[in-house]
Amino acid sequence: MFFRSIRFSLTLWYAVTLAVILLLFSSFIYLVLRNQLTKEVDREILTVAEAVASPTLEPFRRAGPSVFDQVLEDFIGTRLTGKYVQVLDAGGRTTASSKSSEGLRVPLSKGASRRAWAGKVTYETRVSLDLYPVRTITYPIMDNGRLLQVVQVGTSMRAAAETLDKVLVVFAVSIPLALTLWSVGGWFLAGRALKPVDFITRSARKITAENLGLRLEVVNPQDEIGQLATTFNDTLERLEDAFRRVKQFTGDVSHELRTPLTILRGETEVGLRWAREPEEFRELFRSNLEEINRMSKIIEALLELSRAEEGGLRLELAPIELEDLLGELVQQSRLIDPDKGLKIAFAVEKPVTVMGDWLRLRQIFMNLLDNAVTYTPAGGEISVVIDASGAFARVTVVDSGIGIPADDLPHIFERFYRVDKARNRADGGCGLGLSLVRTLVEAHGGRIEVVSEVGKGSVFTVYLPLQARS
């Protein structure tokens, strides 16, 4: 777990990143320094080679070693220290050479000889001698394009090599030391940076299904950790709401199904104990059938709601003239409770066509009309109006019923919610109609709105997208 922790990973990446940077930087410094030292040596031996190749020393380029050494010392001076000089003819035979630093003398290479015949100066580093390499220059002396002599000057790279070795030692000591110090510092900084995460982890462990009301403390909502804590709190709030809804839903379902089951059991027990005549048994079965139908409606509505919310509700979309659909439903609604003597009006302000599922749209509007008829007193009025609003068809169902209290309006589309539970149960409702209506409307890409006032009635407005013009 230690090696898999974020703190260890961050420290490791810090160290690896720093190691790469230091190695690249050190390599760059080393190469630049080596190049500069080599250029400095090249300038020194070039100066000596040009001096030896000058016309002034032409008479002495065939002199003996002792004379040649003296001439070089007098003419070149201290710049000759640590260097050897030799002069070769066009055939590669040595005609003059210095006795100083004879141990540095190297033979003329074939490549340098070819370049000399072409009149080109050649720099070489010979590494096959003793401990330190030797830097040489092969300088041709030309006359009208003809090679006369070749001047070769060499010097030891010992000073440059020692300098580069010291630099390598410095790098070998400083880089591991820097990596060690940086790793320690990175471990400390990673711990400080991840301390809020550890706090969030310990706080989150205290949150269970029984205390979802707990929230994480957000110290700085602007930084990444604060945003993480805020997001986690938002998730907890949604989970708490979901748990609350599930708990409420479970209680509501239990309550809704318990009542008809209790009635079924009670009536069945009474019938088995007291019923003797066929008519009594028929009455018992009729009552049981009503309760069974009630439970079937509840279960069917719940299944439809679940399918719709999980995206499993399949809509068979087709162009539908709302005027035809609602005209038929309005006629049927007049037969729901004819004894009330309700006045149900139907008006089409503007004919509209929507893409929808005929069966689901029928469920939507039949639920709204059934509620309007149920909660409108005898002699009341109901009107259904079709119109268009922008890109939406608008269907308004207005009734002069008992209305809905303002406190209940935000909840009427929730499952099993009833404004007056006792009255709704007597009317046979289960509190799922409006919830199903909203779900089906939203499945069509629309929305539903409600305005109501107690004693004055309610206005339900359904917006559905108009059929796109081809």
Neighbours of 83 (CB within 10 A): 24
396 and 301 part of one domain: no
What's the CATH code of the domain at 270? 1.10.287.130
Given this model, what pLDDT does residue 102 score?
59
pLDDT digits (tens, 9 = 90+) for 349-365: 888 999 988 888 988 99
**Residue that terminates a domain, selected from 134, 162, 190:** 162
**Residue that terminates a domain, selected from 276, 309, 342:** 309
Number of domains in the chain: 3
Range of the domain at 266: 224-309
300 and 351 part of one domain: no
Does 271 reside within a domain? yes
pLDDT digits (tens, 9 = 90+) for 297-332: 767 766 666 666 655 567 788 999 999 999 999 998
Give me the residue label for tokens 């048994």: 281
Does 183 reside within a domain? no
Confidence of residue 408 (pLDDT cuts 50, 70, 90): confident
Confidence of residue 35 (pLDDT cuts 50, 70, 90): very high
Does 44 reside within a domain? yes
296 and 331 Cβ atoms separated by less than 8 Å: no
Distance of CA 29 to the CA centre of its chain: 40
Q: What are phi and psi of 15, to 5 degrees?
A: -65, -45
**Residue that terminates a domain, selected from 113, 143, 162:** 162
pLDDT digits (tens, 9 = 90+) for 261-305: 776 777 777 777 776 777 777 777 777 777 777 777 767 766 666
Confidence of residue 467 (pLDDT cuts 50, 70, 90): confident
Give yes or no for residue 344 having a pLDDT over 80: yes
Up-side HSE of residue 204: CA atoms within 13 Å toward CB?
15
Closest by CA position to 86, among listed 77, 76, 94: 94
